[in-house]
Amino acid sequence: MSYELIFDVKRGDFETAGEASRKIKHTLQQLGISNKIIRKVSIAGYEGEMNLAIHSSGGKIILEVGEKELILTIEDVGPGIQDLNLAMTEGWSTAGDEVRQMGFGAGMGLPNMKNNADDFEITSKIGEGTKIVMKFLV
Amino acid sequence: MKVSELLENKEFKCLNPQVGIEGVIKSGYVGDLLSWVMANAGNECAWVTIQTHVNIIAVATLLEMTCVIIPEGAEVEESTLERAIIEDIPILITGLNAYEVCKILGNAGV
């Protein structure tokens, strides 16, 4: 890997949520990555960032830039997802009313990430956390 | 259609005219579910939404939207305006509803 960026995201931090995705986008622009790929990474990154703010007990976003691919990892420290198949279903969400009123919790976050990444892997363990690794070919 | 041309219509007011208003509106999008907007809105669009919190600027920036239009007189939060100025995203408010906004955009050739 020729380049790596790491961002911390706290639970409930909606005021600054989106900051990591913006910085990732800016970095990719400076590296001369195509707009089409930047859009995909931006959408996936933003969804991951919002998931950390809404659902997790806090976590990290890691961007690794290689010659042939970008790897975006979204990793948290809990609480973990009970049923991954359900969580991947469009429209299904455990978000509370407050965040739904803000326009989050549409149940589109994980599907949006999967749809935009060339490769998408999610693992989760209750009480331990969730890890999503997305690869984007450049 | 440029944002400045839309602002010639007195139904619209820009809350942060210090940002550039010469951006071209190439399409429009209406939606309040942020993930849905992220998945489907195009870039260089005018996004009509009733959401007014700071995260709309993150969405607008990431998708490279031309402007955000807040319909029906909804009040925009100060933190949203501050972020919009930093990110150079014009925020327009109007008393019109989303459909009426779209009609104006459509009639203008957007």
Overall average pLDDT of the B64-82 stretch: 97
| pLDDT above 70 (res A1) | no
User: CA of A21: how far to CAs of A10, A11, A44, in Å?
Assistant: 14, 16, 9
Specify the pLDDT at position A56.
96
pLDDT band of A136, cuts 50, 70, 90: very high
Task: Pick B55's closest partner by Cβ from A102, A107, A112.
Answer: A102
Using an 8 Å Cβ cutoff, are A17 and A47 in contact?
no
Q: Which domains does chain B have, with CATH numbers?
A: 3-107 (3.40.1390.20)
B1-39 tens-digit pLDDT = 999 999 999 999 999 999 999 999 999 999 999 999 999
B86 neighbourhood in chain A, CB within 8 Å: none
What CATH number is attached to the domain comprising A32?
3.30.565.10
Predicted TM-score of the model (pTM): 0.93
- Residues 34-63 in B contacting A (C-alpha not used; CB under 8 Å): 34-39, 43, 49, 51, 53-59, 61-63
A38-77 tens-digit pLDDT = 999 999 999 999 999 999 999 999 999 999 999 999 999 9
| pLDDT above 90 (res A121) | yes
Q: Cβ separation of A14 and B53 shorter than 8 Å?
A: yes
The side-by-side arrangement of strands in the sheet containing B45-48 is B12-14, B91-94, B67-70, B45-48, B27-30
Specify the pLDDT at position A13.
85
Structure tokens at B75: 């009040």
Size of interface A-B (CB pairs under 8 A): 71
The alpha carbon dihedral of A20, A23, A25, A31 has a sign of negative
**Mean of per-residue pLDDT scores for chain A:** 94
Q: Where are the alpha helices (DSSP H) in chain B?
A: 3-6, 34-40, 55-62, 78-87, 98-107
Domain limits for position A62? 3-137
Q: Cβ separation of A108 and B58 shorter than 8 Å?
A: no
